Structure 1
Amino acid sequence: MEIFQKAKVVRLKSHLEKYLVADNDQEHTRQSRRGGASRNARWHVELVDGNSHVVRLKSCHGRYLTASDAPFLLGMTGHKVLQTAPENMKDLRIEWQPIKDGFQIKLRAYGGTYLRANGGTPPWRNSITHDNPHTASSTHNWILWDVEAVEVPEDEQLSDYLSLVSTFSSLSDELSSLDMGSPVSMRSSFSPRVLKTTPSINLPAMEMFHRAKTVRLRSHHDKYLTAEEDEESVTQDRNGAARSARWTVEFPENTDNVVRLKSCYGKYLTASNQPFLLGMTGRKVLQTLPRRLDSSVEWEPVREGNQVKLRTRYGQFLRANGGLPPWRNSVTHDIPHRTATQEWILWDVHVVDILVQSPLPKAPPPLVIHSDSFASESNSPSTASSKSQSFSGQESGDSLDNVARMVGDGRLIFYRISDDYGELDGVEERCMPFKGNGVGELKKMLEEETGLEGIIVCTRSVLNGKLYPLRLALPPNNADMAVVIVPSSSTVAGDFATAKMPL
C-alpha cells in the first residue's frame, strides 16, 4: 500500500511482462507488451476517504478500473474488468485492496477476487479478468503485479486533464474556443483529442523529424519499414541495418505538420488507391516517383506516447500488418476498427542521421556531452570548434534533447570515422540511438551503421590528443557520448596492435 500512497500515477506489469492498458474504446482493458510507453498504461491513484487500505485506479480516459459482474465467457470462471464512470463513487466495484506478496502485489476486488492477467490461447490471451484462481499453482502468478511509479511531466498534466474532460462535448467545445496563450507556448501542452482543429497541435510529433535527415520506422511486430528491391513494394523486415530500411526525411513547403519519406531508391512512400485485396479494407502503400508531388506522398505524424502514427490527408494510417500470408509483413494504409489491431499503426522512430544546417549568423551555445569521461573534451579548442561546425544548425541543447527523448531509456552516440592516421579534420559527425552499456554491443551496432568490419571504438584524450580504445562498460547513467571509429585497415589500428599507442 505504501507505493500507492506515495505515487500519483502507476503502471502495472503482469508476470507475462505486459502492461495493464486502458483501451481507446474507453470501456475494455487488456495487456500490452509495447503499450507501456503510452498514456493508456498510466493509472492515476486515488485514495479512498475513510479507508486507508483500498485505492481507486483511474485511466487516462477518466474512467475507473472496475471489477464488473459480467462474465468473461459464459459457463467459465472469471469476470470482465472494465473502465467505467460510476454515478456513485461509493460503488465498491471500483475499489481495489493492494496486498503485498514478496516484491509484488495482488489487487483484491470487493468480492474477494483478484485482478488477473490471463495467458494461453485466444480469447484468453492478453485479457484481464477478476477471479480467484483455484487451479494449479501455475496460474497463481497470474494475479501478481509489479507496480512502477510514473512521473508525469508538467507539460503533460494539463493535457491529461483536458483529455479527461474531452468526453463531455460541451466542455470540450468551450475549451477549444478559449484563447489560452500564444501558440508557441501551448503547442506541447494541449491534447489533440480536444483541439482537433488546431493546425499546430501535432508539432510535438514533428519534433521527432525536424532534426532528422534519415530515420528508420519500427513496427509493433519489431520489424522495420523496408523498401523492396523491385523499387515499388513496401514490406516489413527484421533487418534494420539494411540500407533499404532507411528513409530520408523531406519537409514540403508552406506546411509544418507533414513529412515526405524517400526510400534508398529515390522514391516516395505513397498511400495509393489500389486495394490490397479485393473486397477487403486496406490499400497498398508503395514507392512511387510522381511527376507532381501531391498529398499521397505526405504523412502527418501524430504522437502516441513515445511512438507516432503516420496519417494520410484522408484520415487513414500507415499500418504494419500481421497474421497469415498474404497479410504477414505487408504494409497498408487503413483505419483500424478492431481493438486488437490498434497497435499495428504505432511506429518507433529511430533517427539514423541528424540534419546539419548551414551556420546561423548568431553562434549557438556550445554542446556539452554529459558524461564523466567526456565532460572535459568539449573544452578543447579543436574539439569545440569541430562540434560547433557539426551542430551549428541546432539552436540550443534543448533541440538535441528533443531528439534524445526518442531513444527512451537509451542514449545518443555521436560518432566520426577517422582517416588512416587518426585525423578527423573535415569528417562529418553522425548520431544514432543506443540502448545498453556494453562496448561489444556498441561496436556491433556501429559496424551495422557504417558497414565497416573489425572497427576499434575509441575516445580522444584532451590532454595529449591521442586515441584510446574503449575497453570498459559505458557510463551507467545513459549520458550521451562521443566516440571515434578507427577502421581495422588504418595505420592507427596497426599502432594499437604493436602497442605504439596507449591501450
Structure 2
Amino acid sequence: MDQFHDRQHVRLRSRVLGTYLHADHDGERVSLSRRRDSLNAAWVVHIHQRGDGPYLLLHSAAYGRYLGTTFKPAALGHHGCRTEQRDYNDEPDLMAVMWKASEAGFDNVVLLRNVAGRYLRANGRYLPWNTGVTVDNIGNISAMMYWTVEDIPDREGPPGLPGPIHTPSPGYHSLMLWRNPVVSRLIRFMLSDPHGPIYTQHCWTTLRFRGRSVFHLRDELARRIAFVLDERQSFDLVMCVRAGRRGRLTPLVVDLPSSGYGETLWIVVFMSGTPAYNALRHPDVDAE
C-alpha cells in the first residue's frame, strides 16, 4: 500500500500490455486504453481506514465512480468476472470497491486484490481486441495482474471545459434524425458552504437536464445560482459530482456519461475565491 496516498491521482498501467486502466465514457464499464493524457485514465486514491487495516478505494477522476467488482461472467475471451464503475453508498457497495495492494517484486508494480480474494487483471495478451478489465481468482495468477502505478501531479486550477454539444429539441423528427437518443437525467445540486459542503435533507435543488454537455450544465447551474444569490456580476464555479452517499467529491470537467437515462447525478457547486474551491485538486494529465 506504500505506493498509494490519500487523495493522490494515479494511473494504473498494465505491465505486460502498456495500456491504462480506463473509465469508459458510458460511466459504467472499465477497459484498457493506450491514452494516458485523459481524465478517464486518471484515478483518485481514497484510503479507507478499518480495524483490520487500511484499504484502497479508487474513484474515477472523470466521473467520480469507484472501481468495483461484480460476479457477472466476463465477456467471451476474457478471464474471471467483470469490473464496473460503481457508486459507493453503504456496506454492500463498500465490499465491492475495497482493495489491498501488494508489491509484485518490481519498482512501483502492484497486485490489487479485492476483499473477496480476486485479483484485478488485464486481458488481451494474445487477442488485443479483448480490452476488458476483470477480476480473477488467485489460482489463475498471471503477469496480466501486474499494474505499474504512475503518479499524476496536480495542476494549478481547474482545466477548461470542452465546448458545447448541440442537443436537438424534443420531437419525433429530431429524435429520428439524431444518431442516438438524447440522454435525460435528474440533476440534484447544492451550493457549498465557503469552507465545504454541509449536507442536509433540504439542501438539494432538482432539475431535469437533457444531453451530455458539461458546458451547458455549468451554464444552467450558474444561472440558477445567480438568481438565488441575486448575483449581477460574473463569477466562476466548479461542479463536483458525488457517486453515492459515501462517495468523495470529484470535479466534473468532462461531458456527462453517455448512458444513464433517468439516472440522478448529485452535484455540489463550489464558488471561486472560497477556501473550499481553492482546496480542490485537479490532475495534470498532460504532464510527462
TM-score range, shorter chain: 0.5 to 0.7
Which of 162, 174, 178 is matched with 2:225 structurally?
178
Partner of residue 33, structure 1: 34
Q: Does 1:43 align with 2:8?
A: no
How far off its partner does 1:123 sit?
Answer: 8.2
Unaligned runs of 5+ in 1: 160-166, 194-302, 310-336, 339-404, 410-503
Q: Does 1:152 align with 2:154?
A: yes
Structure in which a larger fraction of residues adopt helix: 1
Deviations along 1:45-70, one digit per CA (max 9) or x if unpaired, are 11112243311111121211101111
Q: Does 1:20 align with 2:67?
A: no
Q: Aligned letter for 1:27?
A: E
Distance change in 2, residues 1:8/1:182 (3 Å): farther
Partner SS for 1:92: helix
Which of 94, 101, 106 is matched with 2:104 structurally?
101
Q: Aligned letter for 1:88?
A: D
Deviations along 1:77-116, one digit per CA (max 9) or x if unpaired, are 4100100114314531110100111221000012211000
Partner SS for 2:49: coil
Runs (4+) off by over 4 Å? 74-77, 121-124, 180-183, 405-408
Q: Aligned letter for 1:130?
A: V
Deviations along 1:385-431, one digit per CA (max 9) or x if unpaired, are xxxxxxxxxxxxxxxxxxxx99854xxxxxxxxxxxxxxxxxxxxxx
Structure in which a larger fraction of residues adopt strand: 2
Q: Aligned letter for 2:25?
A: N
Partner SS for 1:37: coil
How far off its partner does 1:182 sit?
Answer: 5.9
Contact 1:66 1:82 in 2 (8 A): yes
Q: Distance in 2 between matches of 1:3 and 1:73?
A: 31
Q: Distance in 1 between matches of 2:7 and 2:18?
A: 21
Which of 119, 123, 130 is matched with 1:118 structurally?
123
Partner of residue 273, structure 2: none
What is the correspondence of 1:246-285 to structure 2 with a 5 Å cutoff?
none
How far off its partner does 1:156 sit?
Answer: 2.3
Partner of residue 333, structure 1: none
Q: Aligned letter for 1:49?
A: Q
RMSD of Structure 2 on Structure 1 (CA): 3.9
Distance change in 2, residues 1:86/1:134 (3 Å): same
How far off its partner does 1:151 sit?
Answer: 2.4
Contact 1:7 1:149 in 2 (8 A): no
Contact 2:20 2:34 in 1 (8 A): yes
Contact 2:38 2:285 in 1 (8 A): no
Structure ID, larger Rg: 1
Q: Distance in 2 between matches of 1:111 and 1:181?
A: 54
Unaligned runs of 5+ in 2: 162-184, 190-205, 208-219, 242-252, 260-283
Contact 2:39 2:285 in 1 (8 A): no
Q: Distance in 2 between matches of 1:105 and 1:67?
A: 18
Contact 1:158 1:190 in 2 (8 A): no
Partner SS for 2:110: strand
How far off its partner does 1:149 sit?
Answer: 1.8
Deviations along 1:313-334, one digit per CA (max 9) or x if unpaired, are xxxxxxxxxxxxxxxxxxxxxx
How far off its partner does 1:39 sit?
Answer: 0.8
Distance change in 2, residues 1:42/1:77 (3 Å): closer
Q: Distance in 1 between matches of 2:121 and 2:21?
A: 10
Deviations along 1:227-274, one digit per CA (max 9) or x if unpaired, are xxxxxxxxxxxxxxxxxxxxxxxxxxxxxxxxxxxxxxxxxxxxxxxx
Distance change in 2, residues 1:130/1:406 (3 Å): closer
Contact 1:30 1:127 in 2 (8 A): yes
| Structure 1 length-normalised TM | 0.33
Q: Aligned letter for 2:111?
A: K
Q: Distance in 2 between matches of 1:57 and 1:27?
A: 14
Partner of residue 95, structure 2: 92
Partner of residue 169, structure 1: 187
Contact 2:11 2:21 in 1 (8 A): yes
How far off its partner does 1:145 sit?
Answer: 0.6
Which of 101, 116, 136 is matched with 1:131 structurally?
136
Partner of residue 78, structure 1: 80
How far off its partner does 1:7 sit?
Answer: 5.3
Q: Aligned letter for 2:53?
A: S
Give identity over the alignment, percent: 29
What is the correspondence of 1:54-65 to structure 2 with a 5 Å cutoff?
54-59=55-60, 60-65=62-67
Partner of residue 476, structure 1: none
How far off its partner does 1:181 sit?
Answer: 9.0
Q: Distance in 1 between matches of 2:37 and 2:286?
A: 12
Q: Distance in 2 between matches of 1:117 and 1:61?
A: 21
